[in-house]
Structure 1
Amino acid sequence: MRSFSVFLSGLWLCACAAHASMPEYQTFPAEGQRLMLWVASAHGRSDPELVAAKRLAKHGVEVWSLDPASAYFLPQVASSMDTLPVSDMAAWLRAAQETGKQVTVFAVARAAVPVLRAAALLGPAQRSRLCIMLMHPNLYTTAEPLAEPDYLDPGELSGLRVRVLQPRHSAAMPWLSDLLGDLARHGAIVSDVVLENLREGYWAREAPTGFEISESRRMDVMLLRQLDTWGCK
């Protein structure tokens, strides 16, 4: 596939991503001018995420879908995301931009850490052409119950457009404004969308509500709406 050959030219994932058919890295080509880099959480890629990626491609949004924990043979725990080679991730972002398409990164939970750190390695002009959507991002150094969280330093984010998608029924909801403020202090151009009646990881929960099941089947619709209304072009 064209997009996968571009991906390899960025030297991303070492030998782990030698074939497009490998489960930790999959591509869904599309002829449109938008490209989404989908970075799964440390828990891996779920079936609803895979279905949404396929549907986005049918709507003209090419998707490069990455399961980073599996790609690097890491334990499926949040802290594994902190050990990913950020230079590899930055090379992936550059390779995506070389396609000439508008690149949006969609990162779930702790995957926000390597994605933002990689964006900080880009030059100002490259950052200004990149959009990042963070689904209930975990950027905490530590998170103590009922305590105001401390945030990791992602690096220089000036000019980077970041949108946080935050489920309403999340323990992190009270700190949303603090998170946005911290990202802005690092130079990011921030916005947020609250996802009503949903919990974190609603598409992969063991006991989802009926509404969560319905919304998990419409992830592609939700993401298309964000792409269209955000105006990140």
Structure 2
Amino acid sequence: MSLHVKLIALLLLATASPLAADPATLTLDVQDEEFELRHYPAEGEVLALWLAPDNGFGERHDQVARALQQQGIESWQVDLLENLFLPRGSASIREIDPALVGSLIERAQRRSGKPVVLLSNSYGAIPALRGMRAWQQDHPGDPALIGAILFSPDTHQGIPSLGLPPQYVPETYASNMPLMILQSARNGNRGQLDDLIAALRTGGSQVFVQMMPGATSLFYEEDKAQATLAHLQQAPARIVRAIHLLDKLPKPEKVAALPEETPVRGDEQLGLDIGLKPFRGDWSPPVLDLEDANGRQHLIDDYTGKVRVINFWATWCPPCVEEIPSLNRLREQFDSENFELISVNYAQRADEVKEFLQEVEVNFPVLIDQDGTEADRWQVIAFPSTYVIDAEGRIRYGVNAAIEWDDPQVIDALRQLIRETP
């Protein structure tokens, strides 16, 4: 019986499987480094090697691994940052040696005797792509690595200034292994998905995508929407089907070459802003025409002749919520001047936002971008993101992070724009 036929049989028998055993701790020596892994043993013929995202594993990772265990899929979960004593965050994940991950894949396959599929989410996609490529260099054409299944992946070099396109790690353009992306439709990176897919296909990867409508982040414990919880329950079956699909595809005979010149602008400093930053994109803002949480229509052109601050945010984003008090104070300072502050909530329903507004004081209009379309058109990559528009309708500043909006330097810059008003 072929591997993919066995996988389908396991999927059909899943509901009759006994409860999964608690994971054990597995210690593995890789390149003179001792790694501790959570091991979910199973008797099936595939090993899922999970690479933790930048914020580590959570209860939902455990839930999915246990369900896979019931379906005969063995799982190893390794938190690279924890094992390497690196601080949490996407910057640390970019520092992980690809050769180390490649060696980990090799040890997993050799010790288990099973073909390996990589799993990860968010910025864990970076070591996954880099590790696959490192493994390929030593094992060209070897079918022992099935490919990777990535949940809402991020492979940014860093967060670019507002208005500029995302920049990806070079291995994004040098991937030719088969990939399945399971994308949460309300995740903040949804707007960059098409760009990411195009970048991944540059190196020859066959990329498959399944959208998960209504979900913000499958492994984010605070996302308790019914749609997310439903997709979480469906995740093990989707993983099994993805393994079945990826396993049937031919494996590349050689590793894809890294691009000689990656699309990275050397003069652009990546990272989160700590204050107002002069805007470097197209100065003309897109049309913004949305209802607020109370059903009142707002059109950006209605505020022509005023300095405008347009803040994109979400209730599930802690930095977004943390900067609301300073935005309230900003609005109060300029209440009687030629100024308007508007926020745009990303991809949440009006009733969700209204419930939040009953608990948190917000003294400015909150527009509802229910499907995230407006944030995509405004090229929002990180949340919060805020645009400052002058009275003539030109974007003058952008901020891709939370800041103190009543900081004296910010106030002075906004007063200068108001003084420039014709």
TM-score range, shorter chain: 0.7 to 0.9
Separation of aligned partners in 2, 1:219 and 1:12: 33
Query: Within 5 A, what are the aligned runs for 1:29-44?
Result: 29-44=41-56
Q: Secondary structure at the match of 1:199?
A: coil
Q: Secondary structure at the match of 1:111?
A: helix
Task: Identify the match of residue 157 of structure 1 among 148, 153, 175.
Answer: 175
Query: Within 5 A, what are the aligned runs for 1:122-161?
Result: 122-123=136-137, 124-126=140-142, 129-144=145-160, 145-154=162-171, 156-158=174-176, 160-161=177-178
1:232 matched to 2:251? The reply is: no
Q: Secondary structure at the match of 1:107?
A: strand
| Residue ranges of structure 2 left out of the alignment (5+ in a row) | 1-22, 249-422
Query: Which residue of 2 is the match for residue 93 of structure 1?
Result: 105
Q: Which has the higher contact order (CA 8 A, sep 6+)?
A: 1
Separation of aligned partners in 1, 2:80 and 2:32: 9
Query: Which residue of 2 is the match for residue 15 of structure 1?
Result: 34
Task: Identify the match of residue 183 of structure 1 among 200, 206, 214.
Answer: 200
Post-superposition Cα deviations, 1:124-162, rounded to whole Å, max 9, x if no partner, equal: 21378431111111111233445321211017433x111
**Pair member with larger Rg:** 2
Say if 1:75 and 1:108 are closer, same or farther in 2 by CA, change over 3 A: same
- Aligned residue-pair number: 219
Say if 1:146 and 1:169 are closer, same or farther in 2 by CA, change over 3 A: farther
Divergent runs of 4+, >4 A: none
Following TM superposition, by how much is the alpha carbon of 1:12 offset from its aligned partner in structure 2, in angstroms?
5.7
Post-superposition Cα deviations, 1:143-200, rounded to whole Å, max 9, x if no partner, equal: 3445321211017433x11112211112322221221111111232222111111113
Q: Secondary structure at the match of 1:120?
A: helix
Say if 1:181 and 1:101 are closer, same or farther in 2 by CA, change over 3 A: same
Task: Identify the match of residue 56 of structure 1 among 68, 72, 95.
Answer: 68
Superposition RMSD in Å: 2.6
Q: Secondary structure at the match of 1:193?
A: strand
Separation of aligned partners in 1, 2:70 and 2:241: 15
TM-score scaled by structure 1? Answer: 0.82
Say if 1:71 and 1:31 are closer, same or farther in 2 by CA, change over 3 A: same
Q: Secondary structure at the match of 2:157?
A: coil
Separation of aligned partners in 2, 1:86 and 1:186: 17
Separation of aligned partners in 2, 1:199 and 1:227: 24
**Equivalent residues of 2:117, 2:148 under 8 A apart:** yes
Q: Give the fraction of aligned pairs with identical amino acids, expressed as a percent.
A: 20
TM-score scaled by structure 2? Answer: 0.48
Following TM superposition, by how much is the alpha carbon of 1:87 offset from its aligned partner in structure 2, in angstroms?
1.6
Following TM superposition, by how much is the alpha carbon of 1:59 offset from its aligned partner in structure 2, in angstroms?
1.0
**Equivalent residues of 2:120, 2:151 under 8 A apart:** yes
Question: Which AA in structure 2 matches 1:30?
Answer: A
Following TM superposition, by how much is the alpha carbon of 1:13 offset from its aligned partner in structure 2, in angstroms?
7.6
Q: Secondary structure at the match of 1:169?
A: coil
